[in-house]
Amino acid sequence: MKNDLLQATINTISGHEFRTPMNAIFGFANLLHDSAGSISAAEQKEYSNYILNSARQLMNLSERLERWSRFKDETIEGVLCEKISVEAMMLQVEKVAEKYTVPGEIFLFSANTREISIPGNKEVFFAAMAELFDNAFKFSAKQSVPVFSVMVENGNQLISIENYSDKVSSTDLRKYTVFTQFNRKLYEQQGLGLGLEIARLGIMHCGGRLSIPEMPEENGHPKIRIEVLIPCMGKLYEKRYTDN
């Protein structure tokens, strides 16, 4: 059902996702061509940046659609037990934060373990988490503080992401609603639900489950919480043995 809804959403707005940056490329390329020799170097650089950013947007969308298709249709080769460093996850969050935050904005990251273990592919895991980290900053309300945590408790490894949003609610995310972020350093039309589906499939390939519990609004902003639950390895082995 979710795959059908996601596919319908992609079919509905994929034209916009591709045509908007393509129109920018054609428009600014023509402007540079027609105004050659009559505009300043600063203006040339500005127009060139628009072209480059639009090209990157197209490349990024193409790569993510390809990743979604691969995660959806293939069995991803992995290992029995892959160690994931919590420090590496924090560095990944920092890298994403640099793209969206402005000076003075912060995020919080906490953990009660130095590493977690997954029965899967490390690259797939980080690709899935990158989508969730990206959404956390992309759709967070201005001056809000995204909170990330990695906890091992009760036989489970729990990665949680919390933030306050301008326009997106937990219900929107579960329905793969099309939405746009506001008041961020980097503006771009997104919201296919594609990132969430890439994350869900990637985490599933790593023996985990993604969930988005309903959260109440606070101070007029919807509160978003995303949870990634991966059983500890001993518990996972026990479940597999029982299933067989």
- Encoding tokens for residue 196? 């969430």
* Domain of residue 60, CATH code: 1.10.287.130
The pLDDT score that the predictor gives to residue 192 is 44
On whether both 69 and 111 belong to a single domain, the answer is no
On whether both 27 and 119 belong to a single domain, the answer is no
On whether both 93 and 142 belong to a single domain, the answer is yes
pLDDT-derived band at 109 (thresholds 50, 70, 90) equals very high
Among residues 132, 120, 212, 221, which one has the least CA distance to residue 172? 212
> How many structural domains compose the chain?
2
On whether both 65 and 170 belong to a single domain, the answer is no
pLDDT-derived band at 182 (thresholds 50, 70, 90) equals very low
Out of 77-86, 119-128, 165-174, least confident range? 165-174
pLDDT digits (tens, 9 = 90+) for 149-180: 999 998 899 999 998 876 665 555 555 443 33
Mean pLDDT for the chain overall: 78
Domain boundary among 43, 74, 105: 74
pLDDT digits (tens, 9 = 90+) for 186-236: 444 444 467 888 899 999 999 999 998 887 777 777 888 899 999 986 544
On whether both 65 and 165 belong to a single domain, the answer is no
The pLDDT score that the predictor gives to residue 178 is 39
The pLDDT score that the predictor gives to residue 217 is 75
Asked whether 141 and 166 are in contact (CB, 8 A), the reply is yes
* Domain of residue 90, CATH code: 3.30.565.10
In this predicted structure, the answer to whether residue 112 has a pLDDT above a threshold of 90 is yes
In whole angstroms, what is the distance from residue 170 CA to residue 182 CA?
Answer: 17
The pLDDT score that the predictor gives to residue 185 is 43
On whether both 121 and 207 belong to a single domain, the answer is yes
User: Model's pTM, two decimal places?
Assistant: 0.72
Residue 132 belongs to what domain range?
A: 78-244
On whether both 231 and 137 belong to a single domain, the answer is yes
Asked whether 166 and 139 are in contact (CB, 8 A), the reply is yes
On whether both 124 and 166 belong to a single domain, the answer is yes
Start-to-end CA distance of the chain, whole Å, equals 28
In whole angstroms, what is the distance from residue 236 CA to residue 244 CA?
Answer: 12
In whole angstroms, what is the distance from residue 227 CA to residue 156 CA?
Answer: 12
Domain boundary among 46, 74, 102: 74
On whether both 12 and 127 belong to a single domain, the answer is no
On whether both 161 and 106 belong to a single domain, the answer is yes
On whether both 21 and 110 belong to a single domain, the answer is no
The pLDDT score that the predictor gives to residue 15 is 58
In the three-class reduction of DSSP (H, G, I as helix; E, B as strand; rest coil), residue 29 is classed as helix
| Cα dist from 175 to 8, 60, 232, whole Å | 12, 23, 30
Domain boundary among 21, 54, 74: 74
Among residues 27, 14, 28, 157, which one has the least CA distance to residue 89? 157
The pLDDT score that the predictor gives to residue 176 is 47
Asked whether 130 and 92 are in contact (CB, 8 A), the reply is yes
pLDDT digits (tens, 9 = 90+) for 56-78: 888 888 888 888 888 887 776 66
In whole angstroms, what is the distance from residue 18 CA to residue 62 CA?
Answer: 9
Highest mean pLDDT among 126-130, 179-183, 220-224: 126-130
What percent of the chain stands above pLDDT 70? 73
On whether both 38 and 107 belong to a single domain, the answer is no
pLDDT-derived band at 21 (thresholds 50, 70, 90) equals confident
